Amino acid sequence: MTADEKRAQEETLRRVRASLARRYRSERRFRLFGLSSALLGLAFVAFLFVTIIGNGYTAFWQTQFKLDIYFDPAVIDPDGQADPQQLASANYRALIRDALQSELPDVSGRREMRELNRLISAGAEFDLRDEVVANVALIGSTRELWITADDEVDMLVKGHVERDEQGGARRLSDSQLRWIDALAADGRVEQRFNVNFFTRGDSRDPEQAGIAGAAKGSLFALLVTLVIAFPLGIAAAVYLEEFAPRNRWIDLVEVNINNLAAVPSIVFGLLGLSVFLNFFGLPRSAPLVGGLVLSLMTLPTIIIASRAAIKSVPPSVREAALGLGASQVQTVLHHVVPLAMPGMLTGAIIGMARALGESAPLLMIGMVAFIVEVPQSITDPATALPVQVFLWADSPERAFVERTSAATMVLLAFLLAMNAVAIWLRNKFERRW
Amino acid sequence: MSGSQTAEAVDLAEEEQLDNSRAPRMDQSQAVAEDFQSVAQEEYETHGTVTAEDPVMTVRDCNVFYGDAQALFDVNLDIGRNQVVALIGPSGCGKSTFIRCLNRMNDTIDTAVVTGDIRLYGEDINSKSTDVVLLRARVGMVFQKPNPFPKSIFENVAYGPRLHGLASNRAELDEIVETSLRRAGLWEEAKDRLDQPGTGLSGGQQQRLCIARTIAVNPEVILMDEPCSALDPIATARIEDLIDELSENYAIAIVTHSMQQAARVSQRTAYFHLGKLIEVDETNRIFTNPGHKLTEDYVTGRFG
């Protein structure tokens, strides 16, 4: 080895050494950057969950009064016939008022009576009615029942409204406050599990409003979406990947599918409005139409994910099947689609999750209406979970604040459940090759 | 100073030596180039005997085009019963293209066009009336890379018979699977793990599984596209023994890059070059007394 070569080698070594420290520094910096990005994202998610759960968990409890209700035959069944018609239209509010008054004998005068009345939810009398209609034997007896309190009372008991705040957020009078305290001292005020929230549709009264209508609306719409978009998406993807001839028309179709995935969702709402409602005359506000619109929106996502999944199936599997004498359809159905299934399912679930959280297209087809009834079929008018969140967030009553958060929690739970099913299905179908 | 001068002198001397050694090689490659030109001419007559005594498949004037590029030029070749034909030649010479014509696997390539007369027992396999599914059941194929289905060993072998309805009940299917695995020499290793994935076997075992899968449908011809190129020498030896045994019952065409393999397993050898079938003859003649210069250059390892 010559001296020159030796010098050159030493020089190389020196330069590499000099750059090493810098290289390691930049690698450390890069790792740190990645880690902090991940932590930042995690922090935001944690913040979101803490806020929503912190705001919303109280909505799962509802203040109720324990009252001894006397089902006075003179009030609800003066004829003694137990005629359902009669029972349905009787004055149950009077029963509650009487029960309250017997607890608070010092209340007098029309104004005070009216104030006392306002402690009780406007819907409480209908709960009583339903109980009596279901069980006429109640007439004439006295029962200790939990009667739903008004949302203002609820907010006060939960501490969302300050007691000493005058003329501001507190909308209860001093005497109402006094009566509540008296009932509480008697052990007659309690926060109990809010069944209404999970069994009812929307209401103007926060204490009567429930998420069931929206949840069922979302469920129906998603079922329609799944039934339509999943098979169509997979069929389209399989055709485009395995059977379509390579020509300009197919290229055009592909470009359009990719573009459709990027179209703003409200545009799909407009499409649904003009096609499904105006042209086909399908019912307004129905989960059927909502599901159709959402499947239009989800289709491109499913097609693109499914095509990627099909592409990733090794060609050797296709060759093996074809070489054994399987037809092209058999090759696809026996080997390609099963192997691509995990990827297709992932794509479908991503699409469905997006559809679940989508509200804009549903606004256009009327799923934003105020609907009290819980839908029983896909053609009944309904709303959807994200739309319900939006509606409640828009309502002025203080009690809707916690319900908005609670509805968001239900939406997230829905999403988590869907993802859990997706992961389970994926693991079930996952195969090595 | 003096040190570096000496080094230069040595360098020069080495270069000269290199030049000397290069010179004959240059002559050689020139010669090869001339041979190439003779082959590149339009008409080319294959050396040796393209016909077999008892042909199962006959190929006449087979041309294959991939788009504008022609991959095979006027190939004529017979594949005889109970005989192994080895197809050798440098990469890209058309061996694989040729055997893929024999069970119409080229159909799966959109741009591929196959012309010529290819017959299986006198029946034109490229005619419109030929059922590709039936053809591929009669002409099985083993691929370069072991490609078992990601299913159990049993399912891998049972897939073909099921597809073609060869077994009328489970007992028959079990029997077909066992016979096929036995003939592929995999039964002893696999009989206790039939329900386990075929992809969990070793490379050599996977390739034998693929062979078992192919013979499970009882084909008349087996095509093998470099079946041992991904295997170690021990697994290769097992497969070669297996090919030998299988040739008692089947007509086999095997593409190989190993001339030793061709010499070991085949009765006839066909040498392809640039899409043309240069020479085909009995294997020992190809390796001991080739008729064409290119064949000689290839089998003696001068290029390829």
pLDDT for A18 = 87
Q: Kindly state whether residues B219 and B285 are assigned to the same domain.
A: yes
Residue B8: the pLDDT is: 44
Q: Are B90 and B298 in contact (CB under 8 A)?
A: yes
For B163, the closest of A4, A316, A326 (CB atoms) is A326
Say whether B136 and A322 touch across the interface (CB within 8 A): yes
Which chain B positions have a beta carbon within 8 Å of A325's beta carbon?
A: 133-137, 160, 163-164, 217
Within-domain flag for A48: no
Cβ contact A323–B199 (<8 Å): no
Contacts of A312 in chain B (CB under 8 A): none
B110 CB neighbours in chain A (<8 A) are 245-246
Beta bridge partners of B78: B58
Do B132 and B259 share a domain, yes or no?
yes
Q: Taking CB atoms and an 8 Å cutoff, what residues of chain B touch A317?
A: 147, 149-150
**Yes or no, beta carbons of A432 and B105 under 8 Å apart:** no
A199 within domain boundaries: no
Q: Are B189 and B268 in a shared domain?
A: yes
Number of domains in chain A: 3
Q: What is the CA radius of gyration of chain A?
A: 32
Q: Is A323 on the interface with B (CB under 8 A)?
A: yes
Domain assignment present for residue A103? The answer is yes
B268-273/B84-88 β-pairing: parallel
Out of B149, B164, B217, the one facing A335 most closely (by C-beta) is B149
Together in a domain, A248 and A334: yes
- For residues A227 and A326, membership in a common domain is answered with yes
B147-169: burial string, b at 16+ Cβ within 10 Å, e else: bbbbbbbbbbbbbbbbbbebbee
The pLDDT, as a whole number, for residue B37 is 56
Whether residues A342 and A382 share a domain: the answer is yes
Residue finishing a domain among A163, A193, A223: A193
Judging contacts by C-beta atoms under 8 Å, the chain B residues touching residue A318 are 108
User: Are B33 and B84 found together in one domain?
Assistant: no
A26 occurs within a structural domain: yes
Same domain membership, residue B50 and residue B23: no
Whether residues A175 and A241 fall in one domain: no
Residues A69 and A145 in one domain: yes
Instruction: Give the domain extent around B27.
Output: 1-41
Are B102 and B253 contacting, i.e. CB atoms less than 8 angstroms apart? yes
Q: Which residues of chain A have pLDDT under 50?
A: 433
A vs B, Cβ pairs < 8 A, gives 72
B201 and B83 in a common domain: yes
* Whether residue B70 is found in the same domain as residue B100: yes
Domain check: are B125 and B6 in the same one? no
- Note whether A179 and A241 are same-domain residues: no
Contact criterion met (CB below 8 Å) for A192 and A147: no
Q: Are residues B64 and B189 in the same domain?
A: yes
Domain count for chain B: 2
Interface contact flag, A319 B147, Cβ < 8 Å: yes
- What are the pLDDT tens digits along chain B (304 aa)? 344 444 444 444 444 444 444 444 445 555 555 555 555 555 567 777 777 788 889 999 999 999 888 888 889 999 988 899 999 988 888 888 999 999 898 888 888 889 989 999 888 988 888 888 889 989 999 998 899 998 899 999 999 999 888 888 999 999 999 999 988 888 988 889 999 988 889 888 999 999 999 989 989 899 999 888 888 888 888 889 989 988 888 899 999 988 889 999 999 999 998 888 888 889 988 888 888 888 888 888 877 5
A37 in the same domain as A65: no
Chain A residues within 8 A of B137 when measuring between CB atoms = 324-325
Whether B252 is in a domain gets the answer: yes
User: Considering the domain boundaries, does residue A136 fall inside one?
Assistant: yes
| Inter-helix orientation angle B153-163/B170-183, to 10° | 110
Burial of residue B11, with CB atoms counted within 10 A of its CB: 0-12 exposed, 13-18 middle, 19 or more buried: exposed
The answer to whether residue B145 is domain-embedded is yes
**Residues of chain B contacting residue A321, judged by C-beta atoms under 8 Å apart:** 149, 159
Is B53 a member of any domain?
yes
pLDDT in tens, B211-220: 999 989 989 8
CB of B109 less than 8 A from some CB of A: no
Tokens of A152: 């203002």
User: Do A421 and A304 share a structural domain?
Assistant: yes
Q: How many CB atoms lie within 10 A of CB A264?
A: 11
Q: Are residues B30 and B49 in the same domain?
A: no
The answer to whether residue B264 neighbours chain A at the CB level (below 8 Å) is: no
Give the three-class secondary structure for B278.
Answer: strand
Q: In this complex, do A314 and B148 lie within 8 Å of one another by their Cβ atoms?
A: no
Supply the pLDDT for residue A165: 66
CA dist B139 → B116, B215, B254 (Å): 18, 10, 13
Please tell me the total number of residues recorded for chain A in this structure: 433
A179 within a domain of the structure (yes/no): yes
Cα A147 off chain centre by: 28
In terms of Cα–Cα distance, which of B300, B279, B292, B240 is closest to B84? B240
* Selected residues 17-46 of chain B with any CB under 8 Å from a CB in chain A: none
Closest residue in chain B to residue A327, using alpha carbons only: B133
List the one residue out of B123, B135, B117, B118 whose CA is nearest residue B219: B135
Residue of B nearest to A334 (CA): B159
Residues A220 and A342 in one domain: yes
- B304 belongs to a structural domain: no
CATH number for the domain spanning A307: value is 1.10.3720.10
Q: Which residues of A328-342 are buried (b: 16+ CB within 10 A; e: fewer)?
A: bebbbebbbbbbbbb
**Do residues A182 and A229 share a domain?**
no
Residue B147: which of B81, B95, B198 has the closest Cα? B198
Domain with B81 in it: what CATH number?
A: 3.40.50.300
* Same-domain check for residues B35 and B81: no
Q: Tell me: the pLDDT tens digits for A391-411?
A: 999 988 888 999 999 999 999
Q: Is B283 on the interface with A (CB under 8 A)?
A: no
User: Which residues, in sequence order, are CB contacts of A112 under 8 Å at separation 6+?
Assistant: A175
Q: What is the chain A residue with the closest CA to B218?
A: A324
| Inside any domain, residue A98 | yes
**pLDDT number for residue A79:** 79
Shared-domain flag, residues A252 and A130: no
Assess whether A322 and A386 both reside in one domain.
yes
Domain span at A140: 60-193
Domain boundary among A140, A165, A193: A193
Cβ of A320 within 8 Å of Cβ of B143? The answer is yes
Nearest CB partner across the interface for B137, out of A2, A325, A339:
A325
A333 touching chain B per CB within 8 A: no
Do B21 and B155 share a domain, yes or no?
A: no
